[in-house]
Every structure is written in structure tokens, then in C-alpha cells.
Amino acid sequence: MVVLGIETSCDETSVALVRDGRTILSNIVCSQADWHKHFGGIVPEIASRKHVELLFPALDLALKEASVELNSIDGVAVTCGPGLISSLAVGLAVAKAICAALNKPLIPVNHLEGHMLSAFLADNELDFPFLCLIVSGGHSELVYAHDLGKYEVLGRTRDDAAGEAFDKVARVLGLGFPGGPAIDKAATNGSPSAIAFPRADMGGSLDFSFAGLKTAVARFVEGYRDILADKSASQYTVPDIAASFQEAVVDMLIQQTERAIQMTKANALAVVGGVAANRRLRQRMNELTSGYGIKLVIPPIILCTDNAAMTACAGYYRLERGLTANLDVDAIAVWDLEDVTVSHLPPKVT
């Protein structure tokens, strides 16, 4: 079965074709990042206009690269939420149009479910159940995936997402955007133990919190701004701060993931989302999983950032079980994983 995937939840316009949920035939990702840089960030109205412009060329390219005819696909999987409503609506409208015109089944997909199942595209052997850490600019969640549509959220951020903390701290340190790669790079020349930034105490919970850490780094830099400018006089360097901050984030992610491994006795761990590209996190996750003798799957970067291959993958598993939707399905801005069910229709907008 070949499933067409469409993902427009934020500022990437992506179309993909995936065979049997595991083999990527094409995965076209048009990032609007350069475009939005001109405006200093993502502007919802502009993002949705760009999706309109980019979606059809991306669709043509995806079909061409996969050598697949549109009318030979078996279904259309589309991200319905969570995300920017005006952006989601573009992908959903196109998906519905294709389904209506060619009489194909429509498969609504939750963006976070897509991220989790991207691990299936990276490792053919991986199957349910598995433990999953989702870490991106907008999300930080620790999830036990029992089965398709049965996701137990063990912990999530109480304030900022991990990727957001990277972006904001990079800005404070003058390292530029996107912050993740900038911190990763700067940290290689710094000492992770130079400054003891605080690790939030989450009690017994598996939640995360990064706001306090972010504030601590911002206030530290404020206090040292003049000293930092004079490199010879400074006790600490920007790389030291970057490395110490990164270590604090990674420590928190590792600590909570380790507790989740012990709790669930999972024998496989997937780390997905943009922050999974961080080299220190990858290294520490490798050490953690080898220590427990469990499998670790971290998808390549193209599958970690927003992409439609993950949507098509999740769509395949839903289609296989006949979990399709009518064409009156809505896009939804806030759609938590625990509200994703097997039958999987997005909750109605109230």
C-alpha cells in the first residue's frame, strides 16, 4: 500500500509517499525558514499563504520522485493538529480535495503520533510497545506507546519545550537562530561542568521544566555581560555557558527517561523531534540504553524535523486497520496525545 502524506502544521510544507509504512519513496520538505527569517519569525498568515503556494509543487515533486501516479495511491494521510490552525487548514483542504476527487480514504493524523512513528521509518525492526521521548521546539513529552492509538503520556514539559530553551539561551548568548545547532557547536569548546546551572526538581513526576534553567542562564549572562566581553578577564567563556546549559538540559532529559525505562521496563527507546539532533543528547542516550541493554532508535535529522513521511507512516498503520475519516473532519490547534484514540478522530472544535 502506498500512502500520500501531507504535513503543514507549522512552517514546513511537506509531501511524502511511503510504501507499507516503512519505505520512503519520496519526502519533500520545503522549509519556509529562510522566508520567515525576513520577518524575524513565523507569521501565521504568511505561513498559510506560503503553504498554498508550495503545496502543489511539492506534491508534483513527491509524485515524480516516487514515480507514482496520484490516482494509484491507497489513501491520503494529513496532519490535523496540533499546530497553527491557518497552516493545518491548507494541508487538510488539499487532502480532502484529493480524496473527494479520486475517491480515496482520508486519514487524519496527530502531529505527535507522526513524530513518534517516524522511528518506524528509521528502524524496520522496531514495533510496539516502545518508549518515546519527543523533544522539539514546541514539544517535550515522554510517552509509552503501547500500541497504535494507545499512548500513555508519562511526562511532559510544565513550561518551555526543550528546543525553545535552546533557542532562547542561544539568543541570550548571541549565538543566533536556530539555537539548537548553535549551542551544540559552541558547547564543543566549553566545559559542561564550568557552571552549576539548576536542574529542576520534579518530585516523583516524570514531567520536565526548563523555564527556571533558562532564567538562570539569562540572569547569569546579565551579571557577567561586561566581564564576558573582555575575554582575558573572564573566568567563563560563552562555550562554557553553552556547554553547562546543554548539560543541564541533557541531564534532565536523561534522568526522566531513565526513570521511565525503569518504570515501564521498555526494551526499546525512540528519541524523536528536532532536539534529537543534539550530539551530546545522542551520546548520553547511547550510554543510557547500552547500560540497560535496550534498543535505541534516533531517526536521521530529516525525519526528526517536521516532515510528511512520518505522517504517511502513521497514516499507513491507521489505514491498515480501516481507521479512516469522513471529509467533515476539522483541523484542531490543541490535540494532546492522550486524546488520540484508536478510532482517532480529532475531537470536535467547540
Partner 1 sequence: MWEVHVATADEMVKLGRCMAAYLCGGDIVALYGPLGTGKTTLIQGIAEGLETTKRIISPTFVLVREYSGRLPLFHVDAYRLEGIDPSDIDWQVSFSEYISRGGVVVIEWAEYIKQLLPNERLDVFLSHESVGRNVKFLAHGERHSKLLLDVREGWKRLCKE
Q: Is residue 81 involved in binding partner 1 (CB under 8 A)?
A: no
Q: Is residue 225 involved in binding partner 1 (CB under 8 A)?
A: no
CA dihedral 205, 284, 11, 126 (to 10 degrees): -90
Output 177 or 292, the one with its CB closest to partner 1: 177
The stretch near partner 1 (CB under 8 A) out of 79-87, 180-188, 228-236, 317-325 is: 79-87
Q: Footprint of partner 1 on residues 109-148 (CB under 8 A)?
A: 136-138
Q: Footprint of partner 1 on residues 151-190 (CB under 8 A)?
A: 156-161, 163-164, 167-168, 172
Q: How far apart are alpha carbons 149 and 112 in whole angstroms? A: 11
CA 321, distance to chain mean position in Å, is 25
Task: Quote the DSSP letter at residue 348.
Answer: P
Residue 180 cell numbers, joined:
539548537
**3-class DSSP state of 2:** strand
Q: Footprint of partner 1 on residues 20-49 (CB under 8 A)?
A: 39-46
Element (H, E) at 148: none
Q: Please, what is the minimum distance in Å from the beta carbon of residue 349 to partner 1?
A: 9
Q: Is residue 12 involved in binding partner 1 (CB under 8 A)?
A: no
Q: Is residue 85 involved in binding partner 1 (CB under 8 A)?
A: yes
Output 40 or 204, the one with its CB closest to partner 1: 40
DSSP string, 313-345: HHHHHHHHTT--B-TT----S---GGG--SS-P
* Member of 89, 200, 211, 302 binding partner 1 (CB under 8 A): 211
Q: How far apart are alpha carbons 124 and 145 in whole angstroms? A: 17
Asked whether the beta carbons of 19 and 66 are under 8 A apart, the reply is no
Per rule CB under 8 A, count of chain residues that contact partner 1: 37
Task: Quote the DSSP letter at residue 306.
Answer: S
The footprint of partner 1 (CB under 8 A) covers 10, 39-46, 82-85, 136-138, 156-161, 163-164, 167-168, 172, 211, 214-216, 218-219, 333-334, 336, 350
